[in-house]
Every structure is written in structure tokens, then in C-alpha cells.
Structure 1
Amino acid sequence: MAKTLHHAKIIPHRSATRGHSDHGWLNTYHSFSFADWYDPRFTSFGALRVLNEDRVKAQSGFPTHPHRDFEIFSYLLSGELTHRDSMLKKGSEGANVSPDKFYRMRRGDVQFTTGGTGIAHSETNEHRSETVHFLQIWAIPWKRGLTPRYHTSHFAEEDKRKGFVVILSPLAAGREASKKAEEEARAVVEGSIPIHADFVMGAGLIAPEGEKNVFEWKVGADARFASEDGGEEKTQASKRKVFVHVPMTKGGKAKVRLDGREDAVLGEGDGAFIDGLNAGDRLTVESVGSAEAEVIVLDSEA
């Protein structure tokens, strides 16, 4: 497959260059500076600020702790994760929310929180024996002081095997959204979770070499912000940055090649900084390993 994005620069971020801490109950890798680990090369990329790949042992987890102003989301890879927050406590779910479905997340589930003016939550593994494996990702919102909110959605495996599925996309009403638009929480890409940033997240499951093994990510995902006054819609920023991450799910057997480049082959745990992109560019991601590759795409304004 020939290289097509000649104007784009791709720099791999190898798994070995990530921060790593093993606390016993938590085994975590940091793609960007986090907690006690700091590397000036890896502080943020566009709106992306944190990408942690976490494994939490059974009957342990993160106790209640506060957040402000970040957009925070968890992408479940295996096991189960129980989320509770200061807005919706156990026992007060109401008739329309199943306590088990809302709180106990499993593979394919994504839990999203707008920290805004302040929210406290806990994330624990309440399973008796199984470790939970998930990505914890933070994005920088387009403004501070937002109203705290949360969303939980499931994204099907079969859809991710057909092509990249958009998991998150900007709130359709944009940065000046009214209270009504915030409550309606409509994202620019139907079926995705709305985020307060010019930011799109995609996820795909790409078959091993020799099968349907090439997916294409359309940079910017054709996102358009709605106009609440009925005027002309506004497109996303035309200059984009994309970070690609391959989670550690197949014992090292999954690999992908970006834009047909031999120097942009990623193994499990690896990521890649892709700069100089334009909205509408087509990024090819080809599976070249011996196992299905799970690929996460994080696309934001430059």
C-alpha cells in the first residue's frame, strides 16, 4: 500500500517510552505526562491531554476523587468497571436507569464525564476475581466552568469490525451552546457521545492480514456544528492533529501500519502522533499482525 498523505508527519510513540507504574492493585501506562511521571516530549497533542492504559485488580480501584474542567472518558477493553459519581449515587437511579447497566460497565461501554465546575466520582472493579482493562482519556474542553454532566453508551463489536465507529464528537451546538442545547446533548455525529471540544474519537477492530484488513479514518469525521438560530452551519477546524493508539489486547500479536509507511508500524501499546493533517484527509490503517487489532483514533483541531 503506497503512502498517500505526503503532507503529514507521523512520529511513533513506542510503548517503551510511556510512563509506567505498578502499584499492585493498579498497573498503568501513561502515553502523556501524568501523576508523578513527567516527560516534556509528551504533555498534550491538540486537545488530547491524558491517555492511560489501566489494569485494575478485582476488589480495588480509584476511590472517590474530584475533577474539574476536563472532559474525561473510560473505554472498556475487558472485565468490568463500576462508576459512581456525586451527581447520581447508588440507590437514587430512578425508574429509567438500571443500576447494573449504568454502573457496571463492560467491554464496548464508554463512560464520559464533563468535569466542569466540579464533580467527584469513583471507578472500582467490584468483580470477585477478574482484572479490568480500560483506557482512561482526558481532553481539554473549549471553555472552563461548564455544567458537570455524564453519559454512558455501548458500541457494538460487529460495528467496529465493519469500519471505524465514531465514539465521541463535538456538541452540535458548539462552544456557545444554550442551556437547552446542553440538556439535549446532541452530538454532531449521530449515535456518538457529545464532547465540549473540537475533538472526535473513533474505534475499530481490524482483522488480521489477509482478510478485510484495511480501515480508513476520515480526518475530522465530517463534523459540522449546528446553528441554534437557523443560520449557516460551521465546520470543524480545517487543520487537524490525530493520535492513534493500539491497546495491549492480543498478547503482542496485533500490529497496524499507518498510511502505508514502513516506519509507521505500531505494535500493541504503541501510539503515533500525526501532524499536518487537513480535515477530509483519509488515513489508512492496515492490520499487519497475526491477530485482530483494536485501534483508537483521537482527532482534534491543531
Structure 2
Amino acid sequence: MSKALTHAKIVPRRSNDRGHADHGWLNSYHTFSFADYYDPRFQNFGSLRVLNEDRVAGGTGFPTHPHRDAEIFSYILSGELTHRDSMIKKGAEGVEGDDFFRMKRGDVQFTTGGRGIAHSEQNESKKEVHFLQIWALPWARGLTPRYHTKTFNEEAKRSAFLPILSPLKGGRSATAEQEKAAEAVLPDTIPVHADLVMAAGIIPVDKRFKWTVGGNAVTKTTDRKVYIHVPMTKGGSSKIRLDGRENAVLSEGDGAFVSGVNAGDVLSFESVGEAEAEVVVLDSD
């Protein structure tokens, strides 16, 4: 068992304390200030700016809208979400890669808003879609808009935390060639223009996972800010304990701010509920 990180500060963010808006077609919980929800205490955490847990009813969705200067990604938990954007002609969408447009569980869709882009996200099925919408603050403004979509293996997430996003190779000084190549520091991950690593795991009951702060991929190695989120996927039956602390037991919908940690520190997660626990890690500068 990992040693407790006595120097780490862990502050839970309880599900019921999040901002909440139910518009009928959209039921959304906001970890950070977003739209009509504002709390000066929750503006961002490192480069993490938005974490919304959304449920969108069948036959509805977000109409075409613009984005700029944000790294935006959707992590699909259940159902299907159809993405269309201003860079791909309607009818020319693909089934995978940068022009992928219909997403399901296990898929992550990523957008560099950069100097400006427009897209829509619609639930074209009859069933509800449940997903996390996450925004990060990029290390530069006016970047070239870009999309990536990738499918991440469900069973791999049951073995250990599976990296999903990591910084673009070249970092803040990336060349035009590196931007075009769009390779991330960690193999088989989506590149993000931020000193951030995202990972996801599905921890079986009574099992423990470990997360090494920084994910062996970041530039800033001291005073990392790690946000943990437990999505509402098992009807309230999932629960995890962070770092062996009884005051850091998280139920579904809960999150936790972990600060004062450094790259290489090992944070432990124990599944202590009645069902396996899906956990998302956002490790930021």
C-alpha cells in the first residue's frame, strides 16, 4: 500500500455543493463557475477551468456555437453524442480520427478553440447521453483550431489509470511542424496545449489504483494541482477513499482538490463502495 502523502492538501467538493441547472432537455452540474452559476471560490484549479457533468435528453442538444482560446474535451459516459463543426462539410464526416462525429461510451472528443471555431453537439438518439464537458486554459492564445477524437479501451481502465490527454510535444515552444503532427508526450493520448494530464480508471470493488502525480509527462514538477472526479454512473453505489483518509471518501458526483503535491508523488485510490468506481484524474500545473 502507498504511503500517505502527508504534505498533500485534499479538499472534497461535494456533489450537492456544485452549481446545478435543470433545463429539461439538459441537466447539468458545474464544479466551477459556468454560465449562470458563479462562485468566486471556484473559478479554476491550475489550468482546469470547467468541469460539467451533463445529461442531454434524446433528440436535443447544443446548437452551433463558437469557441475560442480554450481546450475543450468531452468524455462520454453513456449514450451517443453527435459532433458537427465548421471545419468539416456536412455529409463528409468520418467514422474515426479528426473528422469523427458520433461518439459513444469510451470516446473522448477534443477541441482546440484557438482563434475561433464553431460546432454543435446533438443527441440524435432517443436515449439520454451522459458525459463530462471539461475545459482547460491553453498556454497560448490564437492557436490554430483543431479536433481530435479517440476511443479508449474499457478493460484497460479496469487495470490501472489510463492516460487520455497529455501535453503536445514541444510544449509552449512547439514548432509549426509539431503542431501539425499533433503528437502528445505520452503515446496513444490526445495532445493538449496545457501542462496537464488527464487519466481515467474503473476501480473494482475493494481494489486500489495509484496515480503518479505529473504522469511522467509534465514540465512543472512542483506544486501540482490534481482534481479528482467520480462521475454519477452507478446509481450512487460507487465510492472511493483518497490517500487512505476517512475525510477524503468520495461518493458519486463528488470531487476533490489535491494541492501541494509534486511530480512523482503517488496518490492512492481505494474503491470502498458496492460497485466499481469510475474515476477521472485531471493533473494540472
Under a length normalisation based on structure 2, what TM-score does the superposition of the two structures give? 0.97
In 1, distance between residues paired with 2:268 and 2:176?
A: 39
Structure 2 match to 1:80:
80
Q: How does 1:1-302 map to 2 (within 5 A)?
A: 4-93=4-93, 97-98=94-95, 102-127=100-125, 129-209=126-206, 213-223=207-217, 235-301=219-285
Native 8 Å contact 2:2 2:267 kept in 1? no
Quote how far apart the aligned CAs of 1:176 are.
1.4
In 2, distance between residues paired with 1:16 and 1:257?
A: 18
Measured at CA, do residues 200 and 2 of structure 1 come closer, stay the same or move farther in structure 2, by a change above 3 Å?
closer
SS of residue in 2 equivalent to 1:16: helix
In 2, distance between residues paired with 1:142 and 1:29?
A: 26
Native 8 Å contact 2:242 2:249 kept in 1? yes
Quote how far apart the aligned CAs of 1:89 are.
2.9
Native 8 Å contact 2:2 2:268 kept in 1? no
Under a length normalisation based on structure 1, what TM-score does the superposition of the two structures give? 0.92
Quote how far apart the aligned CAs of 1:2 are.
7.4
SS of residue in 2 equivalent to 1:134: strand
Unaligned ranges ≥5, structure 1 = 225-234
CA displacement, residues 254-284 of structure 1 (integer Å, 9 cap, x when unaligned): 0000000000000000000000000010000
SS of residue in 2 equivalent to 1:135: strand
Native 8 Å contact 1:2 1:261 kept in 2? no
Q: How many residues end up aligned between the 2 structures?
A: 284
In 2, distance between residues paired with 1:40 and 1:51?
A: 15
Quote how far apart the aligned CAs of 1:103 are.
1.1
Quote how far apart the aligned CAs of 1:47 are.
0.4
Native 8 Å contact 1:82 1:126 kept in 2? yes
SS of residue in 2 equivalent to 1:283: strand
Structure 1 consecutive aligned stretches of length 4 or more whose deviation exceeds 2 Å: 97-101, 235-239
Native 8 Å contact 1:71 1:196 kept in 2? yes
Q: Which amino acid aligns with 1:197?
A: A
**Percent sequence identity over aligned pairs:** 67
In 2, distance between residues paired with 1:236 and 1:149?
A: 25
In 2, distance between residues paired with 1:191 and 1:156?
A: 11
Quote how far apart the aligned CAs of 1:179 are.
1.0
Native 8 Å contact 1:203 1:295 kept in 2? yes
In 1, distance between residues paired with 2:226 and 2:220?
A: 14
Quote how far apart the aligned CAs of 1:178 are.
1.1
In 1, distance between residues paired with 2:177 and 2:153?
A: 30
Native 8 Å contact 1:198 1:237 kept in 2? no
What RMSD, in angstroms, separates the aligned Cα atoms of the two structures? 1.4
CA displacement, residues 162-200 of structure 1 (integer Å, 9 cap, x when unaligned): 100000000011111111110100100000000000000
Native 8 Å contact 1:73 1:110 kept in 2? yes
In 2, distance between residues paired with 1:104 and 1:206?
A: 27
SS of residue in 2 equivalent to 1:175: helix
Q: Which amino acid aligns with 1:246?
A: V
Measured at CA, do residues 188 and 81 of structure 1 come closer, stay the same or move farther in structure 2, by a change above 3 Å?
same
In 1, distance between residues paired with 2:246 and 2:26?
A: 34
In 2, distance between residues paired with 1:92 and 1:205?
A: 35
